[in-house]
Structures are given as structure tokens and as C-alpha cells.
Amino acid sequence: MKLLISSLILLCLVCFVSSITLEQIIFSYLETGETFKYEETICSDNTYEIVTSGGEKLFIFEKTADRYYFVNNKTEIKNTLMCFYENYENRTLEGQFERLEEAKEGTKGFFDSRGEQEETCKQYTGIDRLPCEDQTTCLVACRTVYICGTYAFGIGYDFIDLIIAYKSNTEKLDKYENEYEELFDDAIEEKTLSSLEEIKDQLSEISKTSKNIELSDLTILYSFCPEISYKTSDLTSAKSIVLDIEETIAPLYEIDDTVNTIYSETNTRKADYEIPKGEINILMLNGQIINVAYFEE
């Protein structure tokens, strides 16, 4: 087998470079067992191919005519990623955080479903008219309603403790209902991951508290208070939106790490594969074609 490498051959074989596909170039830089995909993006009239393997972005190639060059400049890597995120994946902070308006409406739908059932239970236990701060005061309130006093007499302070827990949970919902609009509005303005975490935490607490009320033994065990059924589907939808926003914008906050990964992979990986007979091997350095080797029998 004869190997011809020279500047003259480089010039003579330029017309054959197009026979090397992007897939072949990428494959030559992969490790054993790695798979890949690439996505095209056009930014500032330049065409780029972003290569991903195992969910991690590895390289960016710029396509010029029928050739591909590694993008090896951190600023250009970052600008290309931002262009791809914003124009091809709709990963913009403004657009994503606007979706919180829909989540806020879903949360409102949940609170609108509180209805009269909670008030009915308060009336049955007497805590709608008298204070209920501890066992003593709650017992006094309970005794103002004949049926409640009867239950308390038969069951004892265990029944009163259920009333205390019920009151505490409904007051928590009151607090969350008073806070949720401001919480969402602040997040829309701030556009931070921490603000999304606050919303998620509060939605989880609202869900937990409402479930405690629905499953209170005042209803489940003693059938004393009417069944309460909140519109938790709206709450679930709201939380799903927040989670999706968080997942969508995460790459924007991680972009510097991604840039460093691409830069590192571009500069440390070496081409390593056998060239089939009769084909061209392109030798590249820092994104530039520096030599061409043509193998023939």
C-alpha cells in the first residue's frame, strides 16, 4: 500500500473532500460504544452542526461550502448554543417565565374550589364563632354545637385534637391563598431558578395540606364533617408547568459548563479509526484541515 502525503496532494484532492461526510468525521472522534446525533442551526447566516452524545453536547462544527470545521472559540461556541436554544428550542427566559401565568391560573382554580365545605365543617365544630387555639378553647367552641359536644363527650380530647388539626390546615390554605399571586408575579419578574423552587415548594405544601383536610378523620372516620374534594387536578397541572419550565431553561443556566465541555472535548479528543481502502483521511488541528492522506493499493 502506498501512502502519499504532501501539500500538492492536498491541493489535488480538494475536490474529493466532499466525499467525507459529517458522520464519518464525527465517528472518527468517538470512543468505543458511543452514539451520536447532530442538529443543524443557522446563526448570523452561518451554518453549524451541534453534536450530542449520551445527552451531552460534544462538538460544534461550522459548515463552509462542503467542508466542516471545528468551532474552537469559547465565545463562538456560546453564541451558537444561545442561538440554538433561543431560535430552535424556544429556551428563552422571557418566553418560559410567561408560562407561569397559566400555572398561576391553575393555582387560582384550586383555591376557587375550596367552596362552602370548609365553612360547613367550621360551623359544625363551633370554631366559626369562637376561638380554637388549644384543647380547652376548642372544647368550649365545640360545646356550642350540640352534636359536636356529644361527639366530644363520647370520644374525648382525641376528637378535639382533630378539630385543632383541621383548623390549622385550613389556616395554612388561607395563608397560601393570600401569598400565591405575589409569589408567581415575583418569579415572572426575577426569572431565577430559585424563584421556581419556591413555587414548587409552596405547591407541594398546598397539595399536602389539602390532602390532610380531605382525609381528616372528622370526615373519614366519624362522618362528622361533609366530604371535601378540592380541584387538585388544577394544582397538578400548575406544578407540571413549573417543572417543565425548570427543565427547559436549565441549559441556559448551565451554558458556561456546556461551553467548557465542548471546548475541552474539541481539544482533547483525537481521531482514531481505520480508513477504508481508497478513501481520504482528513487530518485536522484546531478546526483546520492541515493535511490529506489518500490510501490506495
Report pLDDT digits (tens) over 185-215.
999 999 999 999 999 999 999 999 999 999 9
Position 113 pLDDT exceeds 80: yes
Asked if residue 128 is part of any domain, the answer here is: no
pLDDT bucket at 272, cuts 50 / 70 / 90: low
Residue 208 CB-density burial (10 A; 0-12 exposed, 13-18 middle, 19+ buried): exposed
What's the pLDDT tens digit per position in 1-20? 333 333 333 333 333 334 46
Tell whether 260 is covered by a domain.
Answer: no
For residues 106 and 210, state if they share a domain: yes
Burial of 189 (0-12, 13-18, 19+ CB in 10 A): exposed
Q: How far apart are CA 197 and CA 242, in angstroms?
A: 9
Distance between CA atoms of 84 and 40, rounded to whole angstroms? 9
- Are residues 225 and 274 located together in one domain of the fold? no
Q: Which three-class secondary structure string do you get for 206-273?
A: HHHHHHHHHCCCCCCCCCCCCCCCCCHHHHHHHHHHHHHHHHHHHHHHCHHHHHHHHHHHHHHCCCCC
Q: Are 290 and 49 in contact (CB under 8 A)?
A: no
Same domain flag for 173 and 274? no
CA–chain centroid gap for 285, Å, is 37
Please give the C-alpha separations between residue 287 and each of 125, 226, 258, 284, in angstroms, as whole numbers.
77, 72, 19, 6
Tell me the average pLDDT across 231-242: 95
- Position 65 scores a pLDDT of 81
Are 173 and 49 within one domain? no
Number of domains in the chain: 2
Q: Do 225 and 113 belong together in one domain?
A: yes
Q: Please check whether residues 30 and 51 belong to one and the same domain.
A: yes
Please spell the DSSP secondary structure of 17-82, one letter per residue.
GGGS-HHHHHHHTPPTT---EEEEEEETTEEEEEEEETTEEEEEEEEETTEEEE---HHHHHHHHH
Pairing relation of β-strands 46-53 and 56-64? Answer: antiparallel
In a domain, 172, yes or no: yes
Confirm whether 33 is domain-assigned.
Answer: yes
107 domain residue, yes or no: yes
206 vs 117: which has the higher pLDDT? 206
User: 275 and 224 share a domain?
Assistant: no
**Do 105 and 205 belong to one domain?**
yes
Q: Which residue did the predictor score with more confidence, 167 or 27?
A: 167
pLDDT value of residue 31: 83
Whether 59 and 99 share a structural domain:
no
Residue 26 has pLDDT above 90, yes or no: no
pLDDT of residue 32: 81
| Count of alpha carbons within 13 angstroms of residue 177, beta-carbon side | 15
The pLDDT of residue 44 is 87
Look at residue 102 and tell me whether its pLDDT is greater than 80: yes
What is the average pLDDT score of the chain?
85
- Cell 408547568 locates to 241
Q: Does 36 fall in a domain?
A: yes
Mean pLDDT of 144-161: 97
Tell me, yes or no, whether 80 and 209 share the same domain: no
Hey, what's the cell of 39? 442538529
For the chain, the C-alpha Rg in angstroms (whole number) is: 32
Question: What's this model's pTM, rounded to 2 decimal places?
Answer: 0.74
Mean pLDDT for the stretch of residues 271-296? 47
pLDDT digits (tens, 9 = 90+) for 35-93: 889 999 999 889 999 999 988 999 999 988 878 888 999 999 999 999 999 888 888 99
**According to the model, what pLDDT value does residue 140 have?**
97
Nearest to 163, CA basis, from 220, 129, 121: 121
Percent of all residues in the chain with a pLDDT value above 70, rounded to a whole number: 84
Same domain, 190 and 284: no
107 shares a domain with 16: no
- Tell me which residue range forms the domain holding 241: 95-118+153-251
pLDDT at 273 over 80: no
In angstroms, the CA 98 to CA 191 distance is 10
Report yes or no on 257 lying in a domain. Answer: no
Residue 67 domain-assigned? yes
Judge whether residue 291 has pLDDT over 50: no
Reduce the secondary structure of 110-133 to three states and give it as a string.
Answer: HHHCCCCHHHHHHHHHCCCCCCCC
pLDDT, residue 6, reads 35
Gap between the Cα atoms of 190 and 195, Å rounded: 7
